[in-house]
């Protein structure tokens, strides 16, 4: 297996004069985009970065986001995406525990990271993409540095949450990244050479796995900086988009917006939706706008993906003994998938238990510098997802609950312990428990049950503002309930979040809500 750099470089030579990259009015050929990546790789080397060093990136979808995507592969640097909706504490943790030496930040996002260059040990330089960036890039050498790269060199470290709630690093080698990218291409219809893919979700997330496969076949990668329904529909039509990854909340926003201007999408082949369940109503209304042959689904997580897939004919079809519309599909051909009980015993059809999966070269080997958490999530080469589900007699997988109380709101993972720790810092708070409740727009939203002393005066706004400042607005509780009663505890002293959230899910067949 080649490494990603060689695949990208070959395509840049094969399709040198073909349009490769689009962001608004900015358009670049393969040769031009590749030259920018080479220059950035050399500029980072001039700044002291060595092959294997980690570089943090904080950005929106843009030409500049593609610069570092390419440069990391070209220079054999390890890209560590930071997430634009996070706040300073999360950025600080991600850079510290991966040992980032350089951070590359879009000017508009600088307030979310300002000051960390002097606080994070080992972070030598903070490079801001401002008005000076293009000149800085142009001054760098355009000669390919061509460092030695092996398939098992680390390419990217993405972050997810662990059972403690702290972000955990998942390292992808060139081998595993390319394997997962191949898995993503296998989910929907095979793209034709020159196909156009739209990145409406951030490259730092699942959409990033769709960049290099389309680059490799001479396709166009179109960047959308921020999602809005009308802008999304307009770009789909104007750029003749064939493929895109869309979060369920985006589809939900589009169906509520409708298609008032009658946009048409004759080139559209696949809208791949994952990261959270989708309600049946959203699915059916999406078909009215986009047609009934383009919606595809996948299930997976940062630790292993894709695990299952579902095409439109099967999704909306009839299978005796199954309800495909409520499922997340069947196991991909290269994935082993099982349901196990707490003792590790493999369960039979329709028996609920933890979802475990195995995908050679397409899963993590462990969490970055965290053997304890790795031991909790990996057993004999299998990844324990922390999700509770069942597999029916036809092989369809259904998500039922989350063993680790993970909340998925608008396609973003929210970990209760992280929010509870912040709320507990309030001087008037005795204890707090956070859990997910249904939300019409976001699928789920956090509810915080906050224990205070009798007579305490504290407002819901104080709590939500505290969480927003520390963790980002998307993690703030959608509702805060104050109580003087103690939280329910298990016999080993753990808060029983399931007992607290159960009344809010009365009447729901699943404890995971779709947008």
| Segment 405-412 mean pLDDT | 81
List pLDDT tens digits, range 164-195.
567 899 999 999 999 999 999 999 999 999 99
Instruction: For 412-470, write each residue's pLDDT tens digit.
Output: 778 787 888 789 889 899 889 999 999 988 889 999 999 999 999 999 999 999 999 98
* pLDDT-based confidence at residue 491 (cuts at 50, 70, 90): very low
**Res 163 pLDDT > 50:** no
H-run or E-run covering 177: helix 174-187
Residue 161: the pLDDT is 58
| Banded model confidence at residue 149, pLDDT cuts 50, 70, 90 | very high
Q: Using DSSP, state whether 43 is helix, strand or coil.
A: helix
Q: pLDDT band at residue 281, thresholds of 50, 70 and 90?
A: confident
Task: Compare 86 and 171 and report the one with higher pLDDT.
Answer: 171
| 8-state DSSP, 62 | S
Q: Does 63 or 416 have the greater pLDDT score?
A: 63
Residue-level pLDDT at 514: 64
Task: Check whether 223 has a pLDDT greater than 50.
Answer: yes
Check pLDDT > 80 for residue 221.
Answer: yes
pLDDT given at position 417: 76
H-assigned helices in 291-323: 312-315
List the single range of 79-93, 167-181, 497-511 with lowest mean pLDDT: 497-511
| Cα angle 387-390-392, degrees, rounded to a multiple of 5 | 155
Percent of the chain with pLDDT over 90: 75
Quick: pLDDT tens for 14-57.
999 999 999 999 999 999 999 999 999 999 999 999 999 999 99
3-state secondary structure 415-482: CHHHHHHHHCCCCCCCEEEEEEEEECCCEEEEEEEEECCCCCCCCHHHHHHHHHHHHCHHHCCCEEEE
* Contacting residues for 507 by C-beta, under 8 A, at least 6 apart: none
349 CB neighbour count, 10 Å cutoff? 12
Tell me: pLDDT of 342 over 70.
yes
Dihedral of the alpha carbons of 319, 325, 327, 333, in degrees to the nearest 10: 60
Closest CA to 236 of 269, 260, 258, 207: 269
Rounded distance, CA 297 to CA 274, Å?
6
Is the separation of the CB atoms in 55 and 77 below 8 Å?
yes
Mean predicted confidence (pLDDT) in 236-243: 98
pLDDT of residue 492: 42
In the structure, what pLDDT confidence band is assigned to residue 515 with cuts at 50, 70 and 90?
low
Taking a C-beta distance cutoff of 8 angstroms, is the pair 501, 436 a contact?
yes
For 303, list phi and psi in degrees, rounded to 5: -75, -25
Instruction: Tell me: pLDDT of 137 over 80.
Output: yes
CA distance 162 to 86: 16
- What secondary structure does DSSP assign to 78-114, as a single string? EEEE--TTS-HHHHHHHHHHHTEEEEEEEGGGGGGTT
Mean pLDDT (the chain) is 92
**Per-residue model confidence (pLDDT) at position 512:** 67
Phi, psi dihedrals of residue 452, rounded to the nearest 5°: -130, 165
| Residue 312 DSSP SS3 | helix
pLDDT of residue 401: 67
Residue carrying structure tokens 């579902």: 310
**Residue 481: other Cβ atoms inside 10 A:** 12
Q: What is the pLDDT of residue 414?
A: 82
Report d(CA 43, CA 37) in Å as an integer.
10
Q: Which residue has the higher pLDDT, 163 or 67?
A: 67
Q: What is the mean pLDDT of residues 330-338?
A: 97
- Cα–Cα distance, 5 to 54 (Å, whole number): 17
Q: Report d(CA 300, CA 308) in Å as an integer.
A: 7
């Amino acid at each position: 297996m080649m490494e990603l750099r060689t695949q990208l470089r070959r395509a840049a030579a094969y399709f040198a004069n073909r349009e490769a990259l689009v962001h608004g009015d900015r358009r670049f050929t393969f040769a031009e985009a590749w030259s920018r990546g080479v220059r950035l790789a050399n500029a980072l080397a001039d700044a002291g970065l060595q092959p294997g060093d980690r570089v943090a990136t904080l950005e929106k979808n843009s030409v500049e986001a593609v610069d570092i995507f390419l440069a990391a592969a070209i220079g054999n640097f390890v890209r560590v995406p930071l997430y634009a909706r996070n706040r300073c504490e999360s950025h600080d943790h991600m850079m510290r525990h991966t040992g980032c030496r350089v951070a590359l930040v879009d000017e508009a996002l600088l307030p979310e990271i300002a000051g960390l260059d002097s606080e994070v040990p080992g972070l030598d330089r903070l490079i801001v993409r401002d008005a000076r960036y293009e000149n800085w890039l142009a001054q760098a050498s355009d000669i390919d540095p061509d460092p030695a790269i092996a398939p098992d060199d680390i390419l990217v470290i993405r972050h997810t949450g662990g059972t403690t709630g702290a972000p955990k690093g998942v390292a992808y080698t060139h081998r595993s990244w390319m394997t997962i990218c191949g898995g993503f291409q296998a989910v929907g219809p095979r793209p034709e050479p020159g196909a156009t893919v739209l990145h409406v979700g951030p490259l730092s997330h699942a959409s990033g796995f769709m960049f290099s496969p389309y680059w490799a076949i001479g396709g166009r990668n179109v960047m959308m900086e921020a999602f809005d329904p009308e802008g999304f529909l307009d770009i789909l039509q104007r750029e003749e988009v064939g493929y895109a990854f869309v979060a369920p909340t985006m589809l939900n926003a589009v169906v509520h917006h409708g298609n008032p201007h009658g946009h048409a999408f004759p080139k559209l082949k696949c809208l791949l939706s994952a990261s959270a369940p989708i309600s049946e109503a959203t699915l059916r209304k999406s078909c009215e706008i986009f047609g009934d042959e383009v919606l595809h689904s996948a299930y997976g997580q940062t630790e292993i993906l894709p695990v299952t897939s579902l095409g439109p004919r099967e999704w909306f079809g009839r299978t005796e003994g199954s309800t495909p519309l409520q499922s997340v599909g069947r196991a991909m051909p290269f994935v082993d998938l099982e349901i196990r009980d707490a003792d590790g015993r493999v369960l039979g059809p329709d028996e609920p238990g933890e979802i475990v999966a195995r995908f050679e070269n397409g899963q993590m080997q462990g969490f970055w510098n965290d053997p304890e958490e790795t031991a909790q999530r990996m057993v004999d080469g299998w990844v324990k997802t922390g999700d509770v589900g069942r597999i029916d007699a036809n092989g369809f997988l259904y998500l039922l609950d989350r063993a680790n109380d993970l909340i998925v709101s608008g396609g973003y993972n929210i970990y209760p312990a992280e929010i509870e720790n912040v709320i507990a810092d309030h001087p008037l708070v005795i204890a707090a428990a956070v859990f997910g409740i249904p939300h019409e727009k976001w699928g789920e939203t956090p509810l915080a049950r906050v224990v205070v002393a009798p007579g305490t005066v504290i407002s819901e706004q104080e709590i939500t503002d505290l969480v927003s400042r520390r963790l980002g607005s998307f993690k703030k509780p959608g509702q805060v309930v104050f109580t003087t009663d103690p939280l329910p505890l298990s016999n080993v002293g753990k808060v029983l979040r399931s007992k607290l959230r159960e009344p809010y899910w009365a009447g729901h067949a699943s404890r995971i809500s779709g947008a």
